[in-house]
Structure 1
């Protein structure tokens, strides 16, 4: 796991705390050093502070998303909603607000890792071949959108679409209830594993990313309620 945090005390504190939970950690003090580490090694998850010297966390997240679908957790200063929105728009999967309790941070990490395990990916964004026998094929089709629920692959007009684990899990949640309005708090619980009322911006911005990749009219907004996948 890679942590990019410029505050030395926080960087050491997070590293030690997460190592106690059994995570193997690498850390960088600025965005450019973090980008170099990311390019040199494979990581299961990235934790990026927003305010970083050299290359900020939002810019770093964008650079990561050019080549990888690895889960990204952003850390934002308390009350800075613009940072949260910018980080999620850049492709982050979730965020925590500093100061953050270690137990909350670990809960967010575990949730992201569960999603990545559900939809395993490589740096190229494809499910790795583990040599096992292929699962029974089940393809859901919604117009020119096809979702292979066994191979965890998505295509539009026959062209593959690369989705992050969070985007894929959100799409599968919609596909399991086509035409049904899903409220934001339901999506927060089922996709992000929030056991409490979380920030609905993560849902809204992830839906926006799906629309950019799949087509803007694919997921319909039902004002005052939530979203639904068009049949």
Structure 2
């Protein structure tokens, strides 16, 4: 049985596309019930429509507060029978009410190795700081920005000659692998939180070989199909 999810976007939706691709390939046991954007004409909406996925636009300017906007989004998600929510480039800090509506069922992906470089332009922050390794993090969402128990992280090297665009490209390729894996673990009900840490219950799957893609470290390791 597939997990009914919603994907919230604000822009291009490349991580949305990664989820769609894994679902259509059969390696991700989830079904995207609805894609919600706070930005009209976001490119990610076109991606969803091409795959026959329902879309809704909820412009933030039409609401008097963040809470009112989130209540409208929550109502949409409930109407579609959504059980889990994936933030994929959703450029809004969601309210405590939203988090409470889907407790331990809201995931986010961030282009850094949290807790380093939270907030906007994380890749540029990493380049400017001169770190040698950066990456991406999938985590449960709580009431703080880019915070919450970490599910999976992947790292890639950064080089002194890297500009933000090159760092972002390398990190984005990693995001497209680890986000579907995290959602699959949720679909299999294998994620447990204890004392602020996420534990992934074991399965019979063997870790996948990631060495042929680019130098990286992913922890926990990806499983076959990811």
TM-score (norm 1): 0.41
RCO greater where, 1 or 2, for CA within 8 Å and sep 6 or more? 2
Q: Which has the larger radius of gyration?
A: 1
Report the structure, 1 or 2, having the larger helix content: 1
